[in-house]
Each structure stands twice: as C-alpha cells, then as structure tokens.
Amino acid sequence: MSVRRVVPNVHVQPEELDRSREFYGLLGFEEVMNQGWIMTLASPSTPAAQVSFLTEDATAPVVPDMSIEVADVDAAHEAVLASGAEIVHTLRDEAWGVRRFFARDPSGRVVNVLGHR
C-alpha cells in the first residue's frame, strides 16, 4: 500500500477559518484549497506538508480527525473491511474529485482514506 500524504484535520467554527489562515501563515503556510466548509493550507517549499480546517463535512456524518491519501483507495477499502474495522462513511466518489471512505481506528479516531480520481 502506497501512502501519498497524511493531513491532520482540525474541526473549527466558521469564524475561525480566517484566523487559522492568518496564524498558520505566520509559520509559512499558504491556502491551497478552500471550499467554504474545508480549507487546506500547505507549505510552498514542501507541498505535502499540509493541514486542513473543517467546519463540517459536506457529505459525511462527522469531521474526520485526519486524511490519508493512498495510491489505491479501493485496495485500502478492501483491507480495512477485511480487518473488521468500522466503516463510518461508505466508499464513494465525491463531486470535488476524490474517491474516499471513513474508518474508525482502534483508538476511536475517524480516518478519511482517499484517492484523487
């Protein structure tokens, strides 16, 4: 299984998005995506170094604690299902160009496992 990146997801209130952008901008992060409900900041010098801020999730019942981008999301889904782990959000193609599912890890954290289409 090939992992492409891991992104912490921070659940924030809508009014905290701008303040988060400003604060993490002090540390060198720049906005690379903003869909209103999710904003991702990245390091220009190391683009895979990212952090996302979510006010909600557009299609899922919960905000995930982290996102893991993998090379083959279908294979990851099969492996997680076979392990017996809880699937929190079923495997699906999303309108913004990713295929993803959420699973709960052994400590109860929700992980968004995704691949770009």
Instruction: Round to whole Å and give the CA distance between 6 and 15.
Output: 25
Q: Walk me through the domains of the chain, giving residue ranges and CATH numbers.
A: 3-116 (3.10.180.10)
110 three-state secondary structure: strand
Query: For 44, which DSSP code?
Result: S
pLDDT in tens, 5-58: 999 999 999 999 999 999 999 999 999 999 999 999 999 999 999 999 999 999
| Cα–Cα distance for residue pair 30/24, rounded to 1 Å | 8
List pLDDT tens digits, range 51-77: 999 999 999 999 999 999 999 999 999
